[in-house]
Amino acid sequence: MKRQTVFKLAAMAVLSLGLGLGLGAQAQDKALIKILVGFPPGGSTDLVARLLAEKMAVVLKQPIIVDNKPGAGGRMAAQALKASAPDGLTYMIAPNATPVLQTLLYPVEVLKYDMLKDLTPVAVLVTYPLAIAVNTQSGVKNIKEYAAWVKANPKEASFGTAGAGGHTHFSGLQLGKAIGQPLQVVPYRGNGPMVTDLLGGQVPAGIMTAGDVLQHQKSGKVRVLAQFGAKRSPLMPDVPTLIEQGYNLDTGDAWTGMWAPAKTPPVELDRVQNAIKYVLALPEVREQLVNKATLNPDFKPAAEMDALQRKELQYWAPIIKESNFKPES
């Protein structure tokens, strides 16, 4: 290699290093963005938040941290978001059940925030289907067989969920109506214990997210009978929906979104929304979400997210009221 070429390469390397340092300094000069998560580190919501924070910091050239505020099913984070200044520096990432279902389950005096007045939608980040699964020893292969089985064995007309008062709980109650056999909910403290009992035959069926059931389906120990959404999720392309099997029931996919404090300037919301859209399209981000977390990257802008949460409020309100379910405060 000629000496002149070596000098040119060295100069380019120094220039690149200088530019990199400059971008880093520029990022540090900008104010810190905080993403609130209402659950402990290590869960799927936390994973989404940390992945987005890492990639968005590069796009926005601004430092971003994840601040976990676990407690009360995510309410602590929502309360903290409401109390934050609407300056474009504080956001919350949460599953839809946190603000939507809790709005229907608790009075504002308990929640200490009003979802539609105090929180501003930014974007839907990911979606993931809910599904019903049974132990393969039951011999049930589809929803019609399941309906016949629970009607012939009323003592088996129950389903496990990861907790009371969530999306899976009320979806199970709706399934009971659809098949003409009331189903009793058996709430657990998380999906782990519920899946253990499902595998052991202590609970005949379980309603859970794709990420909690697919690994066990692959082992052949459980059979996934149906998805609860309007169409098949790309995460479970071989599992038919309830509608496909003749039952007019669509309780929707679960989803995770981002909210900001009310009155956050539109220019800040647009800036963050555009960064989210860009990051969720990155192949490495999609690969991590799909293969490591069993989540479907599914960007929806603020307007669509707002329409979605309002639609869910209308859908679930009469169902929750009819169930007479009373949550613990």
Sequence spans of domains, the chain = 31-127+256-323, 130-227
> If you ran DSSP here, which 8-state letter would residue 63 be given?
-
Nearest to 175 by CA among 242, 232, 255: 242
Q: How far apart are CA 298 and CA 259, in angstroms?
A: 16
Give 270's contacts (C-beta < 8 A, 6+ positions apart). Answer: none
Confidence band (pLDDT; 50, 70, 90) for 329? low
Contact between 315 and 100 (Cβ < 8 Å): no
Domains 31-127+256-323 and 130-227 share a fold: yes
In the sheet with 158-161, reading across from the earlier edge strand, the strands are 184-187, 158-161, 205-209, 130-135, 222-227
The CATH homologous superfamily of the domain defined by 130-227 = Periplasmic binding protein-like II (3.40.190.10)
Domain range 31-127+256-323, its CATH number among 3.30.420.40, 3.40.190.150, 3.40.50.300, 3.30.365.10? 3.40.190.150
> If you ran DSSP here, which 8-state letter would residue 289 be given?
I
Query: Per the confidence metrics, is the pTM higher than 0.85?
Result: yes
Residues in the chain, total: 329
pLDDT tens-digit series, residues 137-180: 889 999 999 999 999 998 889 999 998 999 999 999 999 999 99
- Parallel, antiparallel, or unpaired: how do β-strands 33-37 and 205-209 relate? unpaired
Check whether 27 has a pLDDT greater than 90.
no
Across the chain, mean pLDDT equals 90
